[in-house]
């Protein structure tokens, strides 16, 4: 594994009024790694993702992407830089087809996204890219199905396709298996591994399923009450007593 850092948070902090959701977090994410962020509900994981992706501005601290300070770059621009993010809540247009959803994800990235009369050629280009990504996630045959008619597992794949559409270097995946039936989880995880293995992709993952986290991650950051409680390899985290006490023991026993 190389040691190049692609994304870094420096003393990143977010306050919501009196509540400190992210309390000065320092994390370095290695290029082409799968780096998971775990921690109990309310630990600040989603807020941390919102800060990394520019969805929310931090109260203080910095976000560095490929050596550049992107702290105050808003989310519609971080997408152009190569950072793609999912949302914990399903983010699809239910009445549009799978293909239309992905095409819109491509289109919103085009320079001409607010032009109503886009050229036919440009439209074809977006549609071809959308089809390519749908094939990649195994939804080629469902391209013309309205998103709302897809089983939940396929909807999560569709969301992944929408993130992949602009070919980002970094993917921020916030609980991609949330709400999925247990038997569907391995397929989505294999898909995430495949995306990672397809080259030059860094994946930052929030995931509750500890078996998934332990098997897929190169590195794990444990958050608790807005702070980093521990960081290390899966083996180190599994053996960390503080983590065991604060979090892991409880989680494993829930499964
Ligand atoms: N927009 C917001 N306004 C106020 N409080 C928020 C907001 N977003 C998150 N919080 C609070 O910040 C804390 C961290 O939340 P969150 O980042 O969603 O945690 P996690 O994803 O780890 O469950 C929680 O106490 C949550 O209620
Ligand atoms: Mg969350």
173 shares a domain with 252: yes
Confidence of residue 255 (pLDDT cuts 50, 70, 90): very low
To the nearest 10°, report the CA torsion of 180, 230, 41, 20.
-140
Is the pLDDT confidence value at 80 over 90? no
- Does 73 share its domain with 11? yes
Residue 180 has pLDDT above 90, yes or no: no
pLDDT of residue 87: 66
Which residues have C-beta under 5 Å from ligand 2, the single-atom ion?
45-46
Q: Which atom of ligand 1 is nearest to the CA of 39?
A: 22
What range defines the domain where residue 159 resides?
Answer: 90-167
Residue 175 Cβ < 6 Å to ligand 1: no
Residue 89's pLDDT band (boundaries 50, 70, 90)? low
Domain boundary among 114, 134, 167: 167
Ligand 1, atom 18, residue with closest C-alpha: 46
221 lines ligand 1 (CB under 6 A): no
Do 155 and 182 fall within a single domain?
Answer: no
β-bridge mates for residue 204, sequence order: 35, 172
Looking at the fold, whether 162 and 98 belong to one and the same domain comes out as: yes
What's the whole-number average pLDDT of the chain?
A: 89
* Span 226-252, pLDDT tens digits: 999 999 999 999 999 888 887 765 555
**pLDDT (average), residues 148-152:** 93
116 and 161 inside one domain:
yes
Instruction: From the CA of 48, give the closest atom in ligand 1.
Output: 17
Instruction: Verify that 192 and 229 share a domain, yes or no.
Output: yes
Asked if residue 100 and residue 4 are part of one domain, the reply reads no
Domain end among 167, 200, 217: 167
User: Domain containing 174 — which CATH number?
Assistant: 3.40.50.300
**How far apart are the C-alpha atoms of 223 and 35, rounded to whole Å?**
13
Cα–Cα dist 146/99, whole Å:
9
The pLDDT confidence band at residue 90, using thresholds 50, 70 and 90, is: low
- In this predicted structure, the answer to whether residue 145 has a pLDDT above a threshold of 60 is yes
Kindly give the distance from the C-alpha atom of residue 49 to the centroid of ligand 2, in angstroms, as a whole number. 9
In short, whether 45's Cβ falls inside 6 Å of ligand 1 is yes
- Specify the pTM: 0.91
Question: What pLDDT score does 155 carry?
Answer: 92
Residues 194 and 150 in one domain: no
Least reliable range by pLDDT among 75-89, 126-140, 215-229 = 75-89
Spatial distance between the Cα atoms of 229 and 110, rounded to a whole number of angstroms: 40
> Is the CB of 21 inside a 6 Å radius of any atom of ligand 1?
yes
In this structure, the answer to whether residues 78 and 173 fall within a common structural domain is yes
Boundary of a domain, candidates 122, 139, 167: 167
Q: Please check whether residues 62 and 129 belong to one and the same domain.
A: no
102 in the same domain as 175: no
Question: How many distinct structural domains can be found in the chain?
Answer: 2
Measured from the Cβ of residue 238, the count of other Cβ atoms closer than 10 Å reads 16
């Amino acid at each position: 594994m190389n040691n190049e850092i692609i994304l870094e948070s420096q003393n990143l902090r977010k306050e919501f009024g009196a509540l400190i959701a992210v309390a000065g977090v320092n994390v370095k994410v290695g290029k082409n790694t799968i780096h998971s962020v775990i921690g109990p509900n309310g630990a600040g994981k989603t807020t941390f993702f919102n800060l990394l992706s520019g969805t929310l501005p931090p109260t203080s601290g910095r976000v560095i992407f490929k050596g550049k300070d992107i702290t105050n770059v808003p989310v519609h621009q971080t997408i152009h830089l190569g950072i793609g993010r999912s949302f914990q809540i399903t983010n699809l247009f239910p009445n549009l087809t799978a293909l239309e959803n992905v095409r819109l994800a491509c289109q919103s990235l085009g320079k001409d996204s607010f032009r109503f009369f886009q050229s036919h050629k440009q439209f074809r280009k977006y549609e071809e890219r959308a089809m390519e990504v749908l094939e990649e996630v195994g939804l080629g045959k469902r391209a013309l199905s309205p998103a709302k008619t897809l089983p939940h597992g396929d909807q999560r794949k569709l969301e992944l396709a929408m993130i992949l559409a602009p070919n980002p270097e970094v993917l921020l995946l916030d609980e991609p298996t949330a709400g999925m039936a247990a038997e569907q989880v391995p397929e989505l995880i294999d898909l995430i591994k495949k995306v990672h293995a397809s080259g030059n992709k860094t994946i930052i993952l929030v995931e509750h399923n500890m078996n998934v986290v332990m098997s897929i991650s190169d590195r794990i950051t444990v958050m608790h009450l807005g702070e980093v409680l521990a960081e290390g390899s899966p083996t180190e985290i599994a053996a960390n007593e503080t983590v065991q006490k604060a979090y892991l023991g409880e989680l494993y026993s829930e499964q």
